[in-house]
Amino acid sequence: MNSSTSNTANTANLANVANTASPWQKADGDQYVQNISRKIPGYALQYDLMDTLLTARLDKWEKQDKPRLLVVGAGGGQEILKLGLSHPDWSFSGLDTSQSMLQAAKQRLAAAGLIDRVRLHHTEIAAWSSNALHDAATCMLVLHFLQGQESKLTMLRSIAARLRPGAPLCISAICGEPGTPAWELQMAGWRLHMLGNGIAEDEWQTFEQSFGVTSHPLPAQEMEVLLLEAGFTAVSRFFGAYLIDGWVAVKA
């Protein structure tokens, strides 16, 4: 592929990322924070496991500098809140495409006394101007919002490019094949989970109808292949609940 063709392809990938992210541009950050734990089974556990895996990896490194973490999809602030309270010497770069979600994160982190260790950026990672290398990264419940494998791979490669060799990544996403019997079985259980936690039927229907429109899952095995293609190794699963899967991997 020549340079002009490559540049055109990269531009198209970035456009896909931007277009897919657009539903979040006007997202209600406060409402998201209030509702997400009622919708996602094992929501708190997912972040507990993320914390222990990153801690186990970073504690093995002998570094003079304090760890710097990259948080892709930082809107709402959950990852930074969890990790920042557990690790007073860690600092964070948080990226999100939604200004309202970032505002919700800023308010939560300021209330927790963490904002001085955080730099929030309203941008996609593929377009982020910083070339600083980080010691670890998270990308939780984000990747399924990108349409197509190429856009997902572009994001994963952009994350890898901003990590030191050996740095861990914790990532989770909705995975599966809509329309298959396995998908329908999992969705039926997920529906009962949400309704049992006070989510209204019409809100469930909006979620169910989002697949193929604003949410674009891939089978879990394809997600693992993308991580390897993006420059990660030691890919392994650490979380699973209905159609949500979480992996930890290491920058090669």
Write the pLDDT tens digit of every residue in 101-148. Answer: 999 999 999 999 999 999 999 999 999 999 899 999 999 999 999 999
Gap between the Cα atoms of 183 and 7, Å rounded: 37
| Pairing assessment for the beta strands 244-251 and 232-241 based on DSSP bridges | antiparallel
Phi-psi sector, 138: left (phi>0), alpha (psi -120 to 50), beta: beta
Q: What is the pLDDT of residue 110?
A: 97
Write the pLDDT tens digit of every residue in 178-229. Answer: 999 999 999 999 999 999 999 999 999 999 999 999 999 999 999 999 999 9
Higher pLDDT, 36 or 3: 36
Model confidence at 34, pLDDT cuts 50, 70, 90, reads confident
Can you read off the two tokens belonging to residue 27? 């997202």
User: What sign does the dihedral 55-53-173-229 (CA atoms) show?
Assistant: positive
Write the pLDDT tens digit of every residue in 51-105. Answer: 999 999 998 776 667 999 999 999 999 999 999 999 999 999 999 999 999 999 9
User: What sign does the dihedral 181-186-189-194 (CA atoms) show?
Assistant: negative
Gap between the Cα atoms of 176 and 119, Å rounded: 34
Gap between the Cα atoms of 36 and 50, Å rounded: 17
Gap between the Cα atoms of 89 and 127, Å rounded: 28
As a three-state string, the secondary structure of 103-163 is HHHHHHHHHCCCHHHEEEEECCHHHCCCCCCECEEEEECCHHHCCCHHHHHHHHHHHHHCE
pLDDT at 157 over 80: yes
